[in-house]
Every structure is written in structure tokens, then in C-alpha cells.
Amino acid sequence: MTDEPRLRLAEGKRLLDSGELDAATRILAPLTGHPDADLAGEAWLAIGQARYRADDEPGALVAWQNAAAAGGQVAWQGWRAVAEQQVRDGNLDEAIAAYREADRRAPAAERGAIANRIAWLLKETGHDFAARRHFNRARGPYAGYAPYVTWAIIAINVLVFVADGLMGGFNLGLFGGGAGGGGPITAGACGAGSPILSGGVICADGVAAGEWWRIFTSAFLHLGLLHIAFNMYALYLFGPILEQMYGHVEYFILYMLCAAGGSVLTILAAPDQAAAGASGAIFGLFGLAFVVSRRHHVATTRQARAILSQAGTLLVLNLVFTFAIPGISWTGHVGGLLVGVMLGFLLPPQQVETISTMWRGPGGERLRGQMPLALRASIYLFAIALLAIGTYVAVLRVPSFG
């Protein structure tokens, strides 16, 4: 066995992983007095794990206290391990104090999770006001994370609506004589309405003629004042939460795929109609929010939880309206919803903590990491392929192309 400290540390961890607890402790013990604080701290952390796994919880606590006292970059992990052991021992006040020490030393990416644990302990010990403050700090990214993509989408929709109104005349009705959420405009006609409307609505004839952009542009067109108002209000409520969960780029991709889902189902199931509206994307966000909140159990603020909890009710109510009110394009709604549900089921949020990512071992290591980038990319490519196949099938069914 070499005496080189880093190799000794690596060998000790290897023995620990293989279950040779006594051997690991013997090899690591000489490193606890090393002048390198990081090296000593890591050795104490590993010894603490060995003692914990050997059911020597008092010994583990002492080792983790020494890891915290050693200083260096891993001291915060020692304090966190101390706090977790104090929780297991029922010493909640001591656990709060240890978590506070961990919070002061932890990297920025870890502080939200630690603040969340402090908040729950404060709530458990009757300090409700302090608990709320820490909950707000733990969930701070929701308030501090500017939803630039949501704002941009809302701004584009409003600007396009105003421009369309100036060119074709404003309609103050609910759906502008057609229907909301991708409501039909005229049977089989892409050229109805103003130049903006006629050039951007989704219709099978237009897509078959090579105007593929209609699959996306139709989600930025609206047929009446209340039509756009309802859609943008829903986007204002749900968009920022989901944008924080997935990040700006991924959220934009999700939004556009949901919008495309509504368009593709429309040209598949209702090829004789032209339609417009952001409701396909909005329904996709509803479905995404509903599935994510129940399958992945994200850590959110009270306000975000209240909004997410409404997703299921809003889905049911809007689906009832979709099929009960004549003229509304059910294909736009259902197509977006199906895409949102599928992606929400397969893709956990990466930007916030979930129940699965919060679990840690005694040494602070995550028991479950984030989804690999290659797998996430494969899921998006799968969704894009499904939409492309659906578009191809719809185009083949157009009389001049079938």
C-alpha cells in the first residue's frame, strides 16, 4: 500500500464501497491529521460513513463533527452530515444549528436544499415565521428567475395580434367568429382573413404546399380579444413556473413542441379546417404541469404549488368547454395536451429539486442523479419524429398530394 495521501484516500473509499468497513477505517485514520484540510475532511467524512454503516451512530457523529472542524471545501458536507444525524437522534435544535453552519459554507447550488431542510425543522419546532422566511429563500429561484421566454412569447402574441388587427380590423368577440384554442376559421381555406392571419394559420393545404412554418406560426395568431386574453393569462400563470423548472431553452422547446402537437393533430383529424391560437401550447403546459407535479414531485413555493394544483381542474373544465361549445377545435387542444403529458412524464425538471434528487446517503452523495443529457435529447428527438411522421401522413391525405 502506497503512503501517497490521495491514493490512500482513494483506496479507503474503495474499501468502503466494497463493504470492508474496518479495513477502510484503518487506512483512512492516518489521513485525519494531514495538514491539507480538504484531505483530512474527506477522510473524516469517509470514516463517518464507515461507522454509520457499522451501526455506530455516535462514532459517525463524532467523525462528521471532526470533518466539519477540519475546515476546507468539504466542511459544509461535515456540517450537513452532523445535522442529518442530529435529526435522526431527535435533536432538532442542534440539527438546525448544524444546517445553518452548512448553509454558510455550502456552494450556491446546494444552499436551496439546505434552506429547505432548515425551514421544515423550524416549522416542526414551532418557528413558523422563520420557517416561511427560509422556505422563501429555498424557493427563491422562482421569484428571482426571470421568465424571459414567457415574457417574449406573450409580447410576440400581443404584437402580432395588434398588427393583425390594424391590417384586418380588431374583433372584440370571444373567438373572432371562429373558435378558440385553434378554432376553425373557414372550412378548407388558408387564405381567409388578414394577410398575417391567412399566411400563418394551420391548414392542411398550406402545409402540403410546403408552408411548414404554419405548424408553429398558428400558435402566435388569435381570432379575438378575449381569445388572446384567456390564452395569455394562462401562460402568465403557468409559464414562469415551468420555465424555472426546465430552464429558458428547454422550456421554449417544450412550448413549441406542444404548439406543434396541436397543429399536427388538426391537419390529421380536421384537414378541411384552418385554425389558429396558442391554446394547443397552453393545453400542453397544463398537461406538463399536471404530470410533473404528480410524477416528479418538485419542490416549489406555496404560490407555485397552489397554481400547479389547479392544472388538473383547469384541464377538465377546459376539455368540457372544448367539446361542449360548438366551433372550438378540439384537435388543437388535445394535440397539445398529448405532447405535454408525454414530455412531462418522460422528462423530469433539471433546474429544481425533486423528491428523487433530494435523497442523499450518509456522506452527502446524491442517491439519484439527473437524467443524462443524451437521454433527454433522445426523448426530444422522439417527440420531433412523431410530429414529423404525423405531418407526413397528413400531407399524403391532402387530395392533390395523396
The CATH number assigned to the domain with range 148-396 reads: 1.20.1540.10
Q: Return the pLDDT at 128.
A: 77
> CA of 109: how far to CAs of 101, 120, 353, in Å?
16, 19, 11
Mind listing the pLDDT tens digit for each residue in 312-363?
A: 788 888 888 878 877 777 888 999 999 999 999 999 888 776 665 555 555 5
pLDDT tens for each residue of 130-158:
777 776 666 554 445 678 999 999 999 99
Percent of the chain with pLDDT strictly greater than 90: 42
**At which residue does the C-alpha cell 453552519 appear?**
101
Q: What's the fold here for domain 5-144? A: 1.25.40
Domain spans, the chain: 5-144, 148-396
What's phi and psi for 100, nearest 5 deg?
A: -65, -40
Strands 183-187 and 273-276: antiparallel
Q: Of these residues, 198, 263, 279, 329, which one is catalytic?
A: 279
| Catalytic-residue membership of 378 | no
The long-range contacts involving 358-366, CB below 8 angstroms and separated by at least 24 positions, are: 358/113, 358/299, 360/84, 361/49, 362/48, 362/49, 362/52, 362/53, 362/60, 362/81, 362/84, 363/45, 363/46, 363/48, 363/49, 363/77, 363/81, 364/45, 364/77, 364/80, 364/81
Residue-wise pLDDT tens digits, 252-272: 999 999 999 999 999 999 888
Is the per-residue pLDDT at 170 higher than 50?
A: yes
Per-residue confidence (pLDDT) for residue 267, from 0 to 100? 93
Note if 227 is an active site residue: no
Question: Which listed residue (134, 222, 296, 333) is catalytic?
Answer: 333
Identify whether the C-beta of residue 353 lies closer than 8 Å to the C-beta of residue 346. no
| Integer Cα distance of 164 and 141 in angstroms | 36
Question: What is the rounded average pLDDT of the residues 1-28?
Answer: 84
